[in-house]
Structure 1
């Protein structure tokens, strides 16, 4: 994020909810939203990592609260959204980022529990979050950004079929739901990152340097994406400046899908 971006205050007076906010893209997005004036509810299953995100935000002068929740459990998602509104008074922006890669492997070798873990977290979690977020945004409007993946648009990475299927479904669900609620001034879009500088893109035992070297050769741009690059796309879709953008899946992957 540039110094110019840091001085912008596109979200002053607004309330944002970020799932999967304890690390990676979720933490970066939560910090960026707070830096631009939002009060941010940070959600996830690990209370310690959520607390660390809140500490970082508060150290930067922002406002945030950690709300532990498992996005695969309907009651916890309902409570998460209600707690966000009770704490900050509204819900204007939601970034549904919580996700898991799962255990890579050919489809015939995928155990049924592993299938359900990936589908439940990456797809059902987005459904549950949108369901309750939309209910709180009706009559007020708002912006929802779902974090999908470029893997949902191609099958060129062996062993990630379940993850790709879940993310393809997230992109499809984003488009259809966007059309259902744009008449109520609720804008719904998605961002599909490619390999980025997060722990999710690391293989077991691999160092970040090894990961970068492995992926650089496979990506047209010759490097992995940075968190500020992914975050900038998310914040643009959440901000008023993208007000004419509805049901869009913004691919940020260094040319991999192209």
Structure 2
């Protein structure tokens, strides 16, 4: 696998390159860049498979490169020094990222996921979703990219009514009454969607609070959603639920 490293600090580029060698990832570094301008020129003139892209490049954001790329036949692993506004957009878009200081095990796992990734035609949809989320200033306009075993679906977050766990799979239910099974556990989507009005009242359920119609105390307590679905509420989540409902 051939890769390019983009980071405005040389020490970080050297450190990442050495870590790849130590972990025996068999990655050939074909180029490095430290600015938006250098990155655009290098990416458009190189043949490679993977781009390690630092979110912050001096006074600029690395997302600025996407509108100026001719070559998009590669995968991306974002690297950032801290959790910031960009992380939410990256998570929603199903793109891998690493937090600095980079943990060697996280690096290995991210590279393995990329190696198993989707084909080029679908990866373009990933980049389009990421660009849309970065440019959107409203939570109502945010999109999430969901991968099933045979397809990719990009949906507005506010069209998700609820999610239901089934071991390591999650079933999404939408406002148009369609559903989609995704091969990722519910806890991952709880982390991604918690800032977009979603609440987990039970270990098996994650609900969009905008679709809660009522809370019934009988039979231990349950939520009634606008599509008439009944969702159980665990005892330890009742107090949190009341706080959420009081803010609606």
Q: TM-score, normalised by structure 2?
A: 0.37
The structure carrying a bigger strand percent of its residues is 2
Higher-Rg structure is 2
Q: TM-score, normalised by structure 1?
A: 0.36
Q: Which has the higher contact order (CA 8 A, sep 6+)?
A: 1
